[in-house]
Chains A and B, each alone.
Chain A
Amino acid sequence: MILITSQESSKDSLLSQLDPRFKLAGMMILAFSFSFVSDFRLLGSMIAITLVLFICSGLTVSFILRKLKAPSLIILALVAVLPFVSGESILLDLGVFTLKKEGLNSSLLMATRFLCIITMVLIILNTSSLLTYVRAMQAMGLPWVMTDMTLLVFRYLEVVKGDYTRMKTSMRLKGFTGKKLNYTNLKTFAWLCTGLLVRSLERSDWIYRSMRIRGYGSQELNRHDFKARRQDFFVLGVLIIIAAGLAGLEISLG
């Protein structure tokens, strides 16, 4: 399940036309303001903000629901267990299990925050390509070590994953199933890891040489062609006001 690699939204949508640097800044500010919310009366506002962003993105409901399926499973276990183990006020006594009010509230709070943050991130990130966002982070001052490594990891991730798939297929063809936990199987897993690492290392040697030939290390490659327009400042301003409003309401209600 890939959440984002390329731009999925229509290029005509409002969010797609914004400067990615401003989208990133706005997204992080909004995500942190969502994680600050703990008052139930503000959950509706969070959902409404996420819905407005969704409308501005030009993405489809089926696309969002498809992408949310896998991440939602991660939190499902936690949210399902908490109402039965956390709190003291009993809402429903089922004999072996007792449903508790505090646990139910915590579950609802965490699930809503999780879904709003991940949906908002999903919406914003799918309005430009991942590579554009990495370039935007570089333009925002991400250290060169991080930028160069991120771009190289992104470039070679699929290549290395291809190595992994081929090696796994070849192991399967030789009869390896790896379904039992024993020393022999662990040794085979370790061989697989070692093979992947050695292949990556050997590939890195010729990549470095070819990068050197193309001038890597001799010039600064921090140029970018992002241009902030009035609408970028306006949208970021609106997002900051919304985030500050949520935080202010949380403090005053809490």
Chain B
Amino acid sequence: MHIPDGILPLPVTLGGYAVCLGALWLSLNRINKRPDPKEDIPRASLLTAGFFAASLIHVPIPPGSVHLVLNGLLGVLLGYYAIPAILIGLFFQAVMFGHGGLTTLGVNGVIMGLPALMAHYIFRLRNIGSPNPRRTSLFAFIAGAVATLASVVLFAVILFTFMPAHLSRAAEQSAILIFMAAHTPLVLIEGLITALIAAFLLRVRPEILHGV
């Protein structure tokens, strides 16, 4: 779900950078307000590298397979570090593998980053009342599924609305709906995987679930 260079017109790519930089500013502001912000850097960085490797896992969805997005889990575990982590991940993917692009880094940051922040807030709701394994899995599922769904919607709307192709409004809407329907299994799988990972982490390293 990365939009490559050259597809979107300049105002959209610049707008993407503006929104993304706003989110980055907010995140860095929150990080810098911590008592010792440097303490969490290695943890956030290594988890980012872990996510980068985990996104290489291919889940079979017949007739093919998809790689995991994991931006919901990233929001759940990294909190405000999710935005810098996603931008760094996108930068490396663009310059190392040619996935996404540098002019579309802002737009792709919005597509992946804002839903990750949304997942962070959703998962925090589990602390209302008494947290237990079932609530943890439930809120992790919702966070993972909603983040992926939001990314799919943002990707489809931005791509099909702003791509310089002569598509009628009906064709645009059909393309968006077909794209979303095709990604429904991914949304459910991301939710399920996020819930399973949260349940495993709760058993082996519960402190990770408190966020970085």
List chain A positions with a Cβ less than 8 A from chain B: 1-5, 27-28, 31-32, 34-36, 38, 67-68, 70-71, 74-75, 78, 82, 85-88, 102-103, 106, 109-118, 121-122, 125, 130, 143, 145-146, 148-150, 152-154, 156-157, 159-161, 163-164, 178-181, 185-187, 189-194, 196-201, 203-205, 207-208, 211, 216-217
Question: Which of chain B's residues 69-124 have a Cβ closer than 8 Å to chain A?
Answer: 70, 73, 77, 81, 84-85, 87-89, 91-92, 94-99, 101-103
Pair B53/A217 contact, Cβ less than 8 Å? no
- Residues in B with CB closer than 8 Å to A189 are 57, 59, 68, 193
Pair A5/B96 contact, Cβ less than 8 Å? yes
In the assembled complex, the CB of B73 is this many whole angstroms from the nearest CB of chain A, namely 8
CA distance A130 to B61 in the complex (A): 35
List chain B positions with a Cβ less than 8 A from chain A: 4-10, 13-14, 28, 31-32, 36-39, 41-54, 56-57, 59-62, 68, 70, 73, 77, 81, 84-85, 87-89, 91-92, 94-99, 101-103, 163-167, 171, 189, 192-193, 196-197, 200-201, 204-205, 208
| B174 closest partner in A (C-beta) | A85
CA distance A144 to B55 in the complex (A): 26
- Residues in A with CB closer than 8 Å to B193 are 186, 189-190, 193
CA distance A178 to B189 in the complex (A): 14
Pair A157/B49 contact, Cβ less than 8 Å? yes
Task: Tell me the total A-B contact number using a CB cutoff of 8 A.
Answer: 242
| B2 closest partner in A (C-beta) | A74
Pair A110/B50 contact, Cβ less than 8 Å? no
- Residues in B with CB closer than 8 Å to A201 are 43, 46-47, 50, 205, 208
Pair A38/B167 contact, Cβ less than 8 Å? no
Pair B92/A154 contact, Cβ less than 8 Å? yes
CA distance A47 to B84 in the complex (A): 34
From the candidates B49, B60, B61, B103, name the one contacting A200 in the complex (CB within 8 A).
B49
Pair B88/A153 contact, Cβ less than 8 Å? yes
Given contacts A4-B95, A118-B98, contact A113 B6 (CB under 8 A): yes
Given contacts A3-B97, A5-B96, A157-B92, contact A190 B59 (CB under 8 A): no
CA distance A3 to B70 in the complex (A): 24
Given contacts A118-B101, A190-B196, A217-B36, contact A199 B45 (CB under 8 A): no
In the assembled complex, the CB of A84 is this many whole angstroms from the nearest CB of chain B, namely 11
Pair A198/B28 contact, Cβ less than 8 Å? no
Given contacts A74-B98, A106-B165, A211-B42, contact A149 B205 (CB under 8 A): no
Given contacts A154-B92, A197-B77, contact A35 B98 (CB under 8 A): no
Beyond known contacts A35-B8, A149-B48, A152-B45: 8 more, CB 8 A cutoff: A32-B103, A36-B10, A153-B88, A157-B92, A160-B53, A192-B57, A193-B193, A197-B54
Pair A150/B91 contact, Cβ less than 8 Å? yes
Pair A152/B42 contact, Cβ less than 8 Å? yes
Pair B43/A204 contact, Cβ less than 8 Å? yes
Pair A200/B50 contact, Cβ less than 8 Å? yes
CA distance A4 to B14 in the complex (A): 25
- Residues in A with CB closer than 8 Å to B59 are 178, 181, 186, 189
- Residues in B with CB closer than 8 Å to A211 are 42
In the assembled complex, the CB of B156 is this many whole angstroms from the nearest CB of chain A, namely 13
- Residues in B with CB closer than 8 Å to A125 are 95
Pair A180/B45 contact, Cβ less than 8 Å? no
- Residues in B with CB closer than 8 Å to A86 are 165-167, 171
Pair A156/B49 contact, Cβ less than 8 Å? yes
Pair B4/A114 contact, Cβ less than 8 Å? yes
From the candidates B13, B51, B167, name the one contacting A35 in the complex (CB within 8 A).
B13
Pair A153/B200 contact, Cβ less than 8 Å? no
Kindly list the 8 A-B residue pairs having the minimum CB-CB distance in the complex, ordered from nearest. A71-B98, A113-B6, A114-B6, A152-B45, A200-B50, A190-B196, A204-B46, A102-B166
- Residues in A with CB closer than 8 Å to B5 are 31, 35, 113-114, 117-118, 121
Pair B50/A199 contact, Cβ less than 8 Å? yes
- Residues in A with CB closer than 8 Å to B99 are 71, 74
| B204 closest partner in A (C-beta) | A198
Pair B43/A4 contact, Cβ less than 8 Å? no
In the assembled complex, the CB of B112 is this many whole angstroms from the nearest CB of chain A, namely 15
Given contacts A148-B41, A190-B193, contact A117 B61 (CB under 8 A): no
